Copies of this chain bind each other. A is one copy, B any other.
Amino acid sequence: MKKKYQVVGIGNAMVDILSHVKDEFLAENGVEKGIMQLIDMQRAVELYDHMGPAQEISGGSAANTIAGIAALGGRTAYVGKVKDDQLGAIFAHDLRAQGAVYQTPFAPKIDSHETGRCMVLVTSDSERSLNTYLGVSESLGPDDIDTAMMAEAEWLYLEGYRFDGAKSKAAFAKAVTACKNAGGRVSLTLSDPFCVERHRDDFHEMISDHVDLLFCNVHEMQAMYPADSLEQSLKLAANEVEIVVCTASEDGAYILNGGGLEHAHAQPVDIVDATGAGDLFASGFLYGLTAGFDMLTCGRMGCIAAAEVISHIGARPETDLMELFREHGLV
């Protein structure tokens, strides 16, 4: 099938505010290291006041993934809500400038919330601790889902984080129905182990009923499918999903697709900022999948794209990913 879009992503639209901090800063400011914490506006202001100089780069997990596929020349669209403010304009620009379609209506200026932002605190070990003020991205609902667009998607890519929104279940349901009715397929990323804890039942329902491809890392896998070993967890997942892809940092990625387990080795890299590793892995994998490559090649594409994005500050690719694929003999 050749549809208008190879992948349509739905997620929390936001701009990342990146700053280098010391471990003590995390402790002093009650930030839990290495995970994503949701914060309200007051806390966002407080944390921002305390942190050092920063830089702003468009982010949002699924948006990063879509930007990565677009950077590879893939046909993509993204759905996620920003406001008609300066950060919203930056977010929209960066996605469109990368070649993705982005037409979610902006929340109006009168909305009391602003465009969402994520304070990304990078410590000297290159680990990132995410502090997310959802802002108007929280309000994405069924009305923002264009069923015609969903029907034009070969693959939907759903961001687990988005389950935090009040109207998100309904939005996802509408998108999934429209996509599947038109013969499309559905992928989901679990996003974060704590996100799994918050939405375990909703995730299970979505996964067993609709998801064809599940992305996660080993921590999320363990949270979603607790077992004595990763292999057992993978098998539990595979009972519910056709394709299970589990990233394992420097151990690369495991892919379970019906039959046997395949392993894509990681791309060695000097990590500068771990933000976006999983997002860009998904970019590489989904690009490969929709371009007709075998699972192992898809996995390697994911690993190479992930390595690129963690070699610099920010969760969007800065170098030519296709050129990297060429250098590694994948294309």
Which residues in B have their C-beta under 8 angstroms from that of A85?
85-86
CB <8 Å contact, A55 and B97: no
Which of B48, B57, B114 lies in contact with A55, CB distance below 8 A?
Answer: B57
Which of B56, B67, B94, B314 lies in contact with A90, CB distance below 8 A?
Answer: B56
For the complex, what is the distance from the CA of A316 to the CA of B19, rounded to whole Å? 12
Residue of B nearest to A52 (CB): B97
CB <8 Å contact, B53 and A55: no
CB <8 Å contact, A56 and B53: no
Distance to closest chain B CB from A17 (angstroms) = 8
Q: Does A20 make an interface contact (CB < 8 A)?
A: yes
Distance to closest chain B CB from A160 (angstroms) = 24
For the complex, what is the distance from the CA of A56 to the CA of B48, rounded to whole Å? 16
Distance to closest chain B CB from A295 (angstroms) = 29
Residue of B nearest to A56 (CB): B56
Distance to closest chain B CB from A322 (angstroms) = 15
Taking the full assembly, how many copies of this chain does it contain? Answer: 2
Most buried by B among A53, A54, A90: A53
- Range of interface residues on A (Cβ < 8 Å): 20 to 34
For the complex, what is the distance from the CA of A49 to the CA of B318, rounded to whole Å? 19
Q: Does A306 make an interface contact (CB < 8 A)?
A: no
Q: Does A264 make an interface contact (CB < 8 A)?
A: no
Which of B54, B86, B95 lies in contact with A86, CB distance below 8 A?
Answer: B86
Chain A 30-48 residues near chain B, CB threshold 8 A? 48
Would you give the 0/1 interface string for A83-97, flagging 1 where the beta carbon is closer than 8 Å to chain B?
Answer: 001110010011101
CB <8 Å contact, A54 and B318: no
For the complex, what is the distance from the CA of A24 to the CA of B115, rounded to whole Å? 34
Q: Does A98 make an interface contact (CB < 8 A)?
A: yes
Kindly list the 10 A-B residue pairs having the minimum CB-CB distance in the complex, ordered from nearest: A56-B56, A53-B94, A86-B86, A55-B57, A52-B97, A53-B97, A53-B98, A86-B87, A55-B55, A85-B86
Sample of 13 further A-B pairs with CB below 8 A, known A48-B93, A52-B98, A54-B94: A49-B93, A53-B95, A53-B98, A53-B316, A54-B97, A55-B56, A55-B57, A55-B314, A56-B57, A56-B90, A85-B85, A85-B86, A86-B87
